[in-house]
């Protein structure tokens, strides 16, 4: 492979905040458990009631209602120098970014980051352009749109502005902090500011590949020597309806509401959120300074799809180009990569395209190499975290290399058949498995991230195997051992109850269970008179079990007990215990045995690693761990085939041996030393290894050869049957049949062995005597003459095997006595015991007679422990099994240690924590001066309300509307009446004055003359202008609400006009009186009679009647938002010049209101 080698980079710090947990430890635990971290949309983000519609084509709706969401994290604004008043103006990505960045820097500097030089530290993060706060602030600026729509709906202006004010109140206000608070680049900028980093700070956006675009830039900073440490990773907290709508209308989201990458049920992706960061240094600098190294970045490859059928359609060739470049720069080929964390979105087209690209790079060969690489995607657990998707995958791969575990991918019941996995380099790893690796090369992994627009990235990672210290393991054990001791029962009860109170007081605190376990183990004294030990998987369970145990002790403080939940109580000063180890034989094996221990204990896993370095001549390419920890299977037939392969003696015996040696390594670290050892059948070989008579590699080769020879028995391999009866009854029943009593396992359990036809005959004889029996699933008739031919070649094999003197007694199942000293005696006994009967009852009894009172079964299963109990009966003893099939391996181990501790056996319990971080005391944690819960959505968001949909007001009832026919008759009745002319005076010729015709009923009124354009300021809450509907159809859309308002305005106008007319009538009467007086004076001077004047007759105006709704152009000067349409104008009335004044009979002046003065005689 062509090399474009780059200097390796060390991952010296990690931090993660993803759905389901609050820290890196919790996230790694969830990954290993294959936990489903997707859930319903929380009402803090958006309301399903507002936006969900199962129809993918529904306008402005999404068909998704689930995703991955962060739990709230306490943010201390005082610590970070962020005024609480600006939290609502700061995107949550910036606030959570501070927390995660500080954690990764603390991890990288071993909590000493305040004393290190930060002038050349940089922060480069993958952050997409869109942030939640940006959308909120832009939405607040849409007031003109709201005003326009409400005015067009015909609402009165005061209601328009009030409604807009209420809408605006659902968004945070613009302020000085809004601009930086909504910018994506300030995620990095705020980190650099608050952590005082003097290097580069910026963000990159490559959509869903943003994390790796940032990683690539961070690598360049280190390659060029511009930075000495770079914090890089991805941040994405945008899971608002905006993002759901983006993916819904693509469409890319799952219709079934789940993310199932590479599954036959995959139908789309799901959205998630989160933050993940790593601290990078040049490897040579990290080693020089003694930094702890999690993993090594060997190569980063990038590419673009170039021209393709669409900007967002994945192109396999483009993706393959990025992978190829990564491995070129890494300096190793994909054939050495055993873990591939895929982009894996769960869309059928995307998965198929990605797998096609992978096959272009991970090519199988003609030699039959297939399915060597575990394939998975963390999106199956947390959904697609967009800009942080690569960060989640990178964290998973780095932790896998550091802990030497192949993590699972979730939700695959059956792979997509279109992938053709069986003919590829890949298998889907659906359960966590130990990552076993020989010394040929370090463990290697690849991680992909692909973004919209054809942006492709791949990172090649490698396990760190240098001399620098390793970081502590993250504790992910499913169970913890709890031990309490005291001088008195009352003191023990008090301590137990105090721990219950502590657990309740700090409920939910990280590492609470681990801290209590570690603290109590430190304090435990196996020699105390009262001892309580139990196992719990979580703090709540522990509190309940401690409370039950305390109550039981109070009732009978001097009585030892073991409760069904596993709590063990021991009373009395213990005597020194003599321990005997028992190693099981063939028949105890099962697929996956020892897996949990190998994944959590370096010493246990190292046994399997060493075994992986051994090759066997008969199958040079096969390794024992591949048989014990096979890839997951997806059919019953495939699983049965795996079990059958392990059943074969050539694999069963070395597999059982490795499992026993792994447990033996843990016991030695715990300080448990046996006074004697023994084994059942094959277990006798393991006992010799435990006693130091055989070296480990010699033992494993002997186990393999022994199994091969027992398979080579020609012809009928025979059969074995277990009989539930005492030995004398069985011997009598089978007397005369060609079978042997191969195993005497318990007082009432005997196993017969022989040729198949002879065993069948013996079974009929047993049935005839009413004895119960069961045919055993074994490969051959062990410990009978049937397998005797294998003893000779095995003896030849052993003759070349180095044998040392055992350091402790090794009991023989054939003689029920310890092995005789000397290598030849050991070889002879080992070769002969293949065909010799096993006298297990006599052997256990002999060990007990020699002083052994504590029997520990070291290997898979718990069969021997049960047999010891039946053999020794009421005789004082303690028998424990370290492993129980069907139970988590660590829980089984802890339960055994609990029984031993309560029994008074001193253990080095601190060894359980070797290589792990010490859990922190929750009471000693720094308490924030101000704790503000921050989740993925923005703090202080006003909608949705805290109560979700239940807190929303119900829909208002519609306004009452009138019947169209009734409205029409009202309009006809409302036609204006003619204006009647004033009554003629004696001096006038009568004439008639009429009003202008009433305008015809119409659905709209022609708009008023055009005004100057409305300014932007007129849209404010103090504005009183109203936009005129632009078309007749818009004006016809006026509502009944507008009609009611218009009617009220008309009535108000009529009343005001009536008062005006009354005032005018009174003024006119006063004028007439004055004129009459003046004219009378003139007349008297002329000798004429006084003149009497009468007022003009008043014309009555019909009361206003309702009309159809009309759109009106109101005056912009009118301050009130409620306006009446102007009344129809009256044409001017032509009036003749004033006639000569003539005498007339005096008339009384009258006034009536309301009235309209049509005309008045001049004075």
Q: Give the pLDDT confidence score for residue 445 in this predicted structure.
A: 99
CB 96 within 8 A of CB 235: yes
Indicate the DSSP class of residue 269. Answer: B
Verify that 156 and 114 share a domain, yes or no.
no
Domain with residue 90: its CATH number is 3.40.47.10
Walk across the sheet containing 530-536 and list its strands.
Answer: 480-486, 530-536, 568-571, 561-562
Element (H, E) at 750: strand 749-754
- Strands (E) located in 29-126: 39-40, 66-67, 73-75, 121-126
For 863-903, give the DSSP string: HHHHHHHHHHTTSS-EEEES--TTS-HHHHHHHHHHHHHHT
The answer to whether residues 590 and 561 belong to one domain is no
CATH number at residue 708: 3.40.366.10
Can you tell me the distance from the alpha carbon of 150 to that of 155, in angstroms, rounded to the nearest whole number?
A: 6
Spatial distance between the Cα atoms of 483 and 570, rounded to a whole number of angstroms: 11
- For 212, residues 6+ apart whose C-beta sits below 8 A from its C-beta are 126, 206, 300, 302, 390, 394, 447, 449, 457, 458, 459
User: What does the radius of gyration of the chain's CA atoms come to, in whole angstroms?
Assistant: 46
Give residue 129's pLDDT: 83
Domain boundary among 829, 863, 885: 885
Among 885, 917, 948, residue at a domain's last position: 885
* Position 370 in a domain: yes
Dig out the tokens for 309 from the structure.
């059928």
Q: Between β-strands 810-811 and 739-746, what pairing exists: parallel, antiparallel or unpaired?
A: unpaired
Q: Which one of 93, 681, 995, 1038 is the catalytic residue? A: 681
The per-residue pLDDT for 1162 is 36
Long-range interactions of 54-59: CB distance < 8 A, separation 24+: 56/248, 56/251, 56/255
In a domain? residue 439: yes
Which of 862, 885, 908 finishes a domain?
Answer: 885
DSSP string for residues in 698-759: HHHHHHHHHHHHHHT--S---EEEEEES-HHHHHHHHTTSSEEEEEEEETTEEEEEE-HHHH
Answer whether residue 323 is part of any domain. Answer: yes
Is 725 a domain residue?
Answer: no
**DSSP letter string over 1038-1093?**
--HHHHHHHHHHHHHHHHHHHHHHHHHHHHHHHHHHHHHHHHHHHHHHHTPPPP--
Do 569 and 585 belong together in one domain?
no
246 shares its domain with 371: yes
Phi-psi domain of 942 (left: phi exceeds 0; alpha: psi -120 through 50; beta: other): alpha
Residue 854's SS3 state is: strand
Strand partners, 838: 743
Which residue in 259, 155, 276 sits closest to 215, CA to CA? 276
User: What is the number of H-type helices and E-type strands within the chain?
Assistant: 36, 30
Task: Give one word for 1034, left, alpha or beta, with left for phi > 0 and alpha for psi -120 to 50.
Answer: alpha
Residue 439: per-residue pLDDT: 85
What's the longest Cα–Cα distance across the chain? 177
796 Cβ neighbours under 8 A, 6+ residues apart: none
Q: Does 378 reside within a domain?
A: yes
Name the domain count of the chain. 5
What is the pLDDT, as a whole number, of residue 72?
96
Task: Report which of 1068, 1156, 1062 is spatially closest to residue 1104, judged by C-alpha positions.
Answer: 1156
DSSP-assigned states of every residue in 1096-1113 = PPPBP-PPP---------
| Residue 1030 neighbours by CB under 8 Å, 6+ apart | none
> Looking up tokens 């186990």, which residue turns up?
703
- Tokens for 115? 């004393």
One domain, residues 507 and 390: no
DSSP of 800-853, one letter per residue? TS--PPPSS-EE-TTTSSBPPSSHHHHHHHHHHTTTSPB-HHHHHHHHHHTT--
Q: What are the distances in angstroms from CA 834 to CA 491, 514, 709, 743, 792?
A: 54, 46, 10, 12, 10
Enter the tokens of residue 39.
């859930």
Using a 10 angstrom Cβ sphere, with 0-12 exposed, 13-18 middle and 19 or more buried, the burial of residue 728 is exposed
Name 910's Cβ contacts closer than 8 Å, sequence gap at least 6.
Answer: 521, 522
CA dihedral sign, ordered 293, 294, 298, 301: negative
pLDDT of amino acid 1052: 67
The reply to whether 675 falls in a domain is yes
My answer on whether 548 and 691 are in the same domain is no
| pLDDT reported for residue 1113 | 42
Beta strands of 166-294 (E only): which ranges?
Answer: 201-204, 229-236, 274-282
Separation CA 690–CA 811 (nearest Å): 12
Q: Distance between CA atoms of 15 and 10, rounded to whole angstroms?
A: 15
> pLDDT below 50 — which residues of the chain?
1, 964, 966-968, 970-1039, 1082-1091, 1093, 1095-1163
Instruction: Give the Cβ contact number of residue 24 at 10 Å.
Output: 23
pTM for the structure as a whole: 0.82
Q: Which residues contact 440 (CB under 8 A, 6 or more apart)?
A: none
Residues in the chain: 1163
Tokens of 346: 């769960």
DSSP state letters, 457-516? EEEEEE---SSSPPPPBP---S-EEEEEEESSHHHHHHHHHHHHHHHHHTTT-TTHHHHH
Instruction: Tell whether omega for the bond before 251 is within 30 degrees of 0, i.e. cis.
Output: yes
Active site residue 681: yes
Q: Do 503 and 415 fall within a single domain?
A: no
Judge whether 614 and 682 are in contact, CB under 8 Å: no
Same domain (yes/no): 258, 402: yes
pLDDT confidence of residue 1120: 42
Same domain for 162 and 265: no
The CA distance from 372 to 424, in Å, is 9
- Those residues with Cβ within 8 angstroms of residue 617's Cβ, 6 or more apart along the chain or in another chain: none
Q: What DSSP string runs through 126-172? A: E--S--HHHHHHHHHTTHHHHHHHHHHTT--HHHHHHHHHHHHTTSP
Map residue 623 onto helix, strand or coil: coil
* Helix (H) / strand (E) containing 551: helix 539-555
pLDDT computed for residue 552 by the predictor: 97
In degrees, rounded to 5, the angle at the alpha carbon of residue 490 between the alpha carbons of residues 486 and 492 is 35
Backbone angles phi, psi at 154, to 5 degrees: 90, 15
Annotation says 783 is catalytic: yes
How is residue 316 written in tokens?
């396999």
Answer yes or no: do 647 and 500 share one domain: no
Which pLDDT tens digit goes with each residue over 197-206? 999 999 999 9
**Same domain as 248, residue 155:** no
Task: Please give the residue range of the domain that contains residue 491.
Answer: 480-574
Q: Give the DSSP letter of residue 231.
A: E
What's the CA gap between 678 and 688, in Å, rounded? 8
CB atoms within 10 A of CB 135: 17
Q: Taking a C-beta distance cutoff of 8 angstroms, is the pair 237, 350 a contact?
A: no
Cis amide leading into 195 (omega within 30): no
Please indicate, yes or no, whether residues 594 and 561 belong to a single structural domain of this protein: no
Residue 1026: its pLDDT value, please?
A: 39
Is the separation of the CB atoms in 271 and 233 below 8 Å? no
- Identify whether the C-beta of residue 67 lies closer than 8 Å to the C-beta of residue 38: yes
454 within some domain: yes
């Amino acid at each position: 492979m062509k090399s474009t080698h780059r200097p390796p980079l060390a991952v010296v710090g990690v931090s993660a905040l993803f759905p389901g947990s609050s820290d890196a430890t919790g996230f790694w635990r969830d990954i290993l458990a294959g936990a489903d971290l997707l859930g319903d949309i929380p009402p803090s983000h958006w309301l399903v009631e507002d936006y969900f519609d199962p129809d993918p084509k529904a306008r402005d709706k999404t068909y998704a209602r689930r995703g991955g969401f962060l739990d709230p994290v306490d943010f201390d604004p005082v610590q970070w120098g962020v005024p609480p008043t600006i939290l609502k103006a700061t995107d949550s990505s910036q606030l959570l970014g501070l927390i995660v960045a500080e954690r990764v820097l603390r991890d990288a500097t071993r909590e000493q980051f305040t004393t290190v030089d930060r002038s050349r530290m940089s922060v480069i993060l993958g952050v997409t352009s869109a942030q939640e706060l940006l959308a909120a602030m832009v939405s607040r600026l849409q007031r003109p749109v709201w005003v326009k729509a409400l005015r067009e709906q015909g609402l009165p202006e005061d209601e328009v502005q009030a409604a807009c004010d209420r809408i605006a109140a659902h968004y945070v206000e613009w302020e000085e902090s809004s601009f930086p608070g909504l910018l994506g680049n300030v995620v990095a900028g705020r980190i650099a500011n608050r952590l005082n980093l003097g290097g580069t700070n910026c963000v990159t956006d490559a959509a869903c590949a943003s994390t790796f675009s940032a990683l690539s830039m961070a690598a360049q900073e280190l390659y060029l020597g511009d930075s000495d440490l770079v914090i890089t990773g991805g941040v994405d907290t945008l899971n608002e309806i905006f993002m759901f709508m983006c993916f819904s209308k693509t469409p890319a989201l799952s219709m079934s509401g789940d993310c199932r990458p590479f599954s036959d049920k995959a139908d789309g992706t799901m959205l998630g959120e989160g933050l993940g960061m790593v601290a990078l240094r040049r490897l040579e600098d990290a080693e020089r300074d003694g930094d702890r190294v999690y993993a090594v970045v060997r190569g980063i490859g990038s590419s673009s799809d170039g021209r393709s059928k669409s900007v967002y359609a994945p192109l396999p060739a483009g993706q393959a180009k990025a992978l190829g470049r990564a491995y070129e720069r890494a300096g190793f080929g994909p054939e050495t990569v055993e873990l591939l964390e895929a982009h894996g979105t769960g869309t059928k087209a995307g998965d198929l395209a990605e797998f096609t690209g992978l096959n272009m790079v991970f090519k199988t060969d003609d030699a039959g190499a297939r399915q060597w690489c575990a394939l998975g995607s963390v999106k199956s657990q947390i959904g697609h975290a967009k800009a942080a998707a690569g960060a989640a995958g990178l964290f998973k791969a780095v932790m896998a290399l550091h802990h030497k575990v192949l993590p699972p991918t979730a939700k695959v019941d059956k792979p997509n058949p279109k992938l053709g996995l069986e003919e590829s380099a890949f298998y889907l790893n659906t359960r966590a498995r130990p990552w076993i690796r020989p010394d040929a090369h370090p463990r290697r992994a690849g991680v992909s991230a692909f973004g919209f627009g054809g942006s492709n990235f791949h990172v090649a990672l490698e396990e760190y195997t240098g001399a620098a210290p390793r970081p502590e393991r993250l504790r992910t054990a499913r169970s913890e051992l709890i031990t309490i001791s005291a001088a008195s029962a009352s003191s023990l009860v008090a301590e137990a109850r105090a721990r219950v109170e502590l657990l309740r007081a700090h409920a939910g605190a990280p590492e609470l269970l681990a801290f209590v376990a570690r603290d109590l183990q430190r304090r435990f004294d196996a020699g105390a008179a009262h001892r309580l030990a139990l196992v719990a998987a979580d703090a709540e369970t522990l509190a309940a079990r401690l409370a039950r145990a305390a109550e039981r002790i109070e009732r009978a403080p001097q009585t030892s007990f073991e409760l069904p939940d596993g709590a063990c109580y021991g009373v009395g000063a213990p005597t020194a215990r003599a321990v005997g180890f028992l190693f099981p034989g063939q028949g105890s094996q099962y697929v996956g045995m020892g897996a949990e221990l190998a994944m959590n204990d370096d010493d246990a896993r190292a046994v399997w690693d060493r075994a992986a370095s051994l090759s066997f001549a008969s199958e040079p390419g096969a390794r024992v761990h591949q048989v014990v920890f096979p890839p997951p299977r997806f059919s019953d037939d495939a699983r049965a085939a795996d079990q059958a392969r392990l059943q074969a003696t050539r694999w069963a015996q070395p597999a059982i041996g490795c499992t026993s040696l792994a447990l033996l390594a843990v016991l030695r670290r715990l300080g448990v030393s046996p006074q004697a050892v023994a084994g059942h059948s094959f277990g006798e070989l393991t006992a010799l290894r435990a006693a130091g008579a055989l070296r480990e590699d010699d033992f494993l080769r002997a186990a393999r050869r022994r199994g091969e020879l027992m398979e080579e028995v020609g012809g009928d391999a025979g059969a074995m049957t277990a009989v539930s009866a005492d030995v004398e009854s069985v011997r009598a029943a089978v007397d005369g049949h060609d079978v042997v009593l191969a195993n005497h396992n318990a007082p009432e359990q005997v196993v017969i062995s022989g040729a198949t036809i002879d065993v069948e005959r013996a079974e009929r004889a047993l049935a005839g005597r009413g004895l119960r029996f069961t045919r055993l699933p074994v490969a051959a008739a062990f410990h009978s003459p049937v397998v005797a031919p294998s003893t000779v070649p095995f003896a030849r094999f052993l003759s070349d095997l180095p044998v040392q003197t055992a350091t402790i007694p090794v009991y023989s199942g054939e003689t029920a006595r310890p092995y005789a000293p000397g290598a030849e005696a050991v070889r002879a006994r080992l070769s002969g015991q293949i065909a010799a009967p096993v006298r297990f009852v006599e052997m256990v009894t002999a060990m007990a007679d020699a002083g052994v009172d504590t029997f520990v079964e070291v290997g898979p299963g718990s069969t021997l422990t049960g047999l010891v109990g039946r053999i020794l009966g009421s005789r004082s003893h303690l028998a424990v099994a370290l492993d129980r099939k069907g139970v988590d391996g660590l829980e089984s181990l802890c339960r055994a240690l609990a029984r031993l501790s309560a029994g008074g056996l001193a253990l080095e319990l601190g060894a359980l924590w070797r290589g792990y971080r010490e859990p922190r005391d929750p009471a000693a944690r720094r308490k924030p001066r101000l704790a503000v819960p921050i989740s993925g959505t923005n703090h202080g968001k006003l909608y949705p309300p805290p109560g979700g949909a239940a807190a929303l007001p119900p829909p208002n009832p519609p306004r009452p509307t009138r019947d169209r026919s009734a409205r029409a008759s009202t309009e006809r009745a409302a036609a204006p009446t003619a204006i009647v002319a004033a009554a003629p005076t004696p001096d006038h010729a009568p004439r008639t004055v009429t009003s202008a015709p009433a305008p015809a009923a119409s659905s709209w009124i022609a708009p008023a003359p055009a005004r100057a354009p409305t300014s932007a300021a007129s849209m404010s809450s103090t504005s009183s202008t109203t936009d005129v509907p632009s078309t007749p159809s818009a004006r016809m859309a006026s509502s009944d609400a507008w009609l009611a308002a218009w009617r009220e305005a008309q009535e108000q106008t009529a009343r005001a006009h009536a008062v005006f007319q009354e005032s005018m009538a009174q003024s006119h009467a006063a004028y007439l009186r004055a004129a009459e007086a003046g004219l009378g004076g003139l007349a008297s001077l002329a000798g004429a009679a006084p003149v009497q004047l009468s007022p003009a007759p008043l014309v009555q105006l019909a009361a206003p009647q309702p009309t159809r709704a009309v759109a009106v152009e109101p005056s912009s000067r009118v301050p009130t938002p409620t306006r009446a349409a102007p009344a129809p104008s009256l044409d001017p009335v032509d009036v003749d010049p004033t006639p000569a004044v003539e005498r007339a009979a005096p008339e009384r002046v009258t006034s009536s209101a309301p009235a309209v003065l049509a005309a008045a005689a001049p004075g």
